Amino acid sequence: MRPAVDFESAQDLPALYKLLDEVQVKNGWAKAKPAIVPEPRHPFVGHRWRYADTRAALHVAGRLVGTEWAERRNLIMANPHPGNDYATVPTIVGAYQMVKAGETARSHRHTPNAMRVVLDAAPGTYTVVEGMKVPMEPGDVLLTPNWCWHGHANESDSDAYWIDFLDAPLAIGIGPVFFQHYPDVNEPSDGIDATSPMRFAFADYAAKAAAAPEVAPGVRQHLLGPVTLTTFDRVAIAMAAGTHWEPVRSSINQIYTVVQGAGRSRIGGKEFDWQRGDMIAAPCWLEQQHDASEDAILLRVSDEPLMRMLGWVVVGQP
């Protein structure tokens, strides 16, 4: 066998690098950006998105974006680092969605797992999962495991707003992204299941979080289960007014939704206030500090189940 280029002609390293480029090969001894590093290095930053902004934008989108041509009327919380237009943290994307009064969002299914955190919705608002209507009420958390048919129906007289979380950035990075429309646009529903295992009612999990043991002074946590998604979890965090909390630094990617209350956070050196409905990105290995100015409930979504399955959970100092 003969090589495709004359490597023996290279008299110095620049000449060798040029020849390697001709056969689409990169050297492993002088990489411009090392791949294996002493600790996590990524471009994702801590950030907070205001519900006041996204709700106002979605209200206008309600006039301009119709469900007959838009699969979902939503806004993507793309982490503000150069070149990114999708992921909120490396493995998870968060998006605000609105379904207008009397409107339905067509049914579809996909390989990424999904979850909803309801912000504002009147009675008569549902997510339809595998043919069953599941009520959506403020503060509720609803799961849509991968490849389940799902759509949304707002039979109330008020527009409904919620946050979607999907592990789509992970699926895109690995490759197996599949998507299908439901053949008849909207999947028929056979009834209403308020006690669906896919639904965690706010009143229920808020009470359990308030009664949970303290993990830090004034801070209590409750894992919403037992139904799980393979790649990300959900934990209700109750913080008493005046509480200061510094979670240990870890290799876990996290996103917080403010379900109730107000406060201020510092993540990776960036500080911002937060209030009900806001979303906060806390990418892996960035230091975190949280202060509650009012009694607060945060809903933390993280890729901890995935990281534990892979044996990649590492913790550092607060």
CATH of the domain at 256: 2.60.120.10
- Its pTM surpasses 0.75: yes
Q: How far apart are CA 166 and CA 255, in angstroms?
A: 11
Q: From CA 132, how far away is CA 204, in angstroms rounded?
A: 21
Longest distance between any two alpha carbons in the chain, whole Å: 76
Write the DSSP assignment of 28-61 as a string of letters: SSS-SS-SS-SS---S---EEE-HHHHHHHHHHH
Q: How many domains in the chain?
A: 2
Would you state the pLDDT for residue 317? 66
Domain that holds residue 85: 47-198
Q: What is the pLDDT of residue 194?
A: 95
> Residue 84, SS3?
coil
- 239 forms beta bridges with 219, 296
Question: Quick one: 191 and 211 in the same domain?
Answer: no
Q: What is the pLDDT of residue 3?
A: 94
Please state the separation of Cα 305 from the chain's center in Å: 14
168: in domain: yes
Identify which of 317, 199, 178 has the alpha carbon closest to the alpha carbon of residue 249: 317
Reduced to 3 states, what is the DSSP secondary structure of residue 289? strand
Task: Give residue 318's pLDDT.
Answer: 55
Are 101 and 187 within one domain? yes
Amino acid at 135: P
Distance (Å, rounded) from C-alpha 71 to C-alpha 181?
A: 9
Mean pLDDT by 10 residues, the chain (318 residues): 94 96 94 89 97 97 82 93 97 97 93 97 95 96 96 95 98 96 89 94 97 97 92 98 97 98 97 98 98 98 97 86
Pairing of β 125-129 and β 150-154 = antiparallel
For residues 67 and 188, state if they share a domain: yes
Same domain, 61 and 180: yes
Question: Using CA atoms, how far apart are residues 290 and 243, in angstroms rounded to an integer?
Answer: 8
Cα-only R_g, the chain? 23
The pLDDT score that the predictor gives to residue 34 is: 87
**What contacts 317, CB < 8 A, 6 or more positions away?**
248, 249
Residues 168 and 251 in one domain: no
- If asked whether residues 151 and 262 sit together in one domain, one would say no
